[in-house]
Structure 1
Amino acid sequence: MKDANDLFQDTIVKAIRFFYNYEQGTNLRGWLFVILKNTFINDYRKNRKKTRS
């Protein structure tokens, strides 16, 4: 499982990569939190599958 620093770094990388999707004037903090949450969930699911096999 990733630690908090890795999760934060992945979030920033994805935010920079997909910044063109961000709509000016909307909640930047909320947008970043959604990226962080989805990254965590995706990594959790991926790791769960590895441990089951």
Structure 2
Amino acid sequence: MPGPRAIADGIALDLAAVMPANAYAREVPALTDALEAQRRMAGRTAILLARPA
């Protein structure tokens, strides 16, 4: 179910909006030669840099 998820008391994060909001996270999965580890790290980086909703 898309939408914000509570990650702490009073803090929510919309995981579906995280990837499109981060340029690095959009570019890496689009690369044909990107390794699986690079794709995962791009997702993690986007989550860590996201601002709470």
TM range (shorter): 0.3 to 0.5
Give the TM-score normalised by structure 2.
0.37
Give the TM-score normalised by structure 1.
0.37
Q: Which has the higher helix share?
A: 1
Q: Which has the higher strand share?
A: 2
Greater relative CO (CA pairs within 8 A, separation 6+): 1
